[in-house]
Amino acid sequence: MEGSGDEEPEADGPLQQLLKRQRKEKRELQAKIQGMKNAVPKNDKKRRKQLADEVSKLEAELEQKHKEELKQLKEVSPEQNKEKKAALEKEREERIAEAEIANLTGARHLESQKLASLLAARHLEIKQIPSDGHCMYRAIEDQLKDQQNSWTVATLRNQTAKYMQSHFDDFLPFLTNPSTGDMYSREEFEKYCDDIANTAAWGGQLELRALSHILQTPIEVVQMDSPPIIVGEEYSGKPIILVYMRHAYGLGEHYNSVKLLTDTATENGS
């Protein structure tokens, strides 16, 4: 369950595509420079000097071009960002709908049954939360709704990002670049926190740890095949209870909330 939970490997984004093209252009320039050097006799000092100046100019021009391209990419308008997010969310909803049809039985069904049994022993049942990238925060929002000054998803996300940024050393060692395996740089960490606050990035154990400190409340995560995980054990009081589902939608992991078990016999007046 560690990490950001519901994420799947994604195709290269605009930045990765740009960097890949720029690396190719650098290799092509080096090959061109090598060809130019091979064409000039070593004992022709005047021509070699001219060649060195020309090489420096070509390298500087390419470097400047790459800097401008990176700058332009970072200056994408908010409107373009909104359109991109809307398209991604629509695509995800379509994939969820397809997975729902294909997964009425199997792993998801078995997991739901086991979790229902575990919760029933505690007079609880699952309360479904939409799978929209905000599920962990929505489940916590649901648990807090009866309290005064209830927290919204946006507030929970913003406070989580701020707490992690102000406790940089507590969280950085647990974040690594999936491509290189190296620990996040400060810039990568800031981007990670920015995504928490401003996108539908899925939450996991690191965010739960931050939230337990923010709310000063223990958070218990019930799961199928392992004992419940509790973060924020140092705090007293009634814990927030989340249900962690590994096979929720066939698209990754998911969090639901809980509610008191409905007594159908009482409801029917029996």
**Residues acting as catalytic residues:** 132, 135, 254
Residues 6+ apart with CB under 8 A from 178: none
The CA distance from 12 to 19, in Å, is 10
Task: Note whether 125 and 259 are within 8 A (CB).
Answer: yes
- Compute CA distances 113 → 229, 244, 260, whole Å: 20, 13, 17
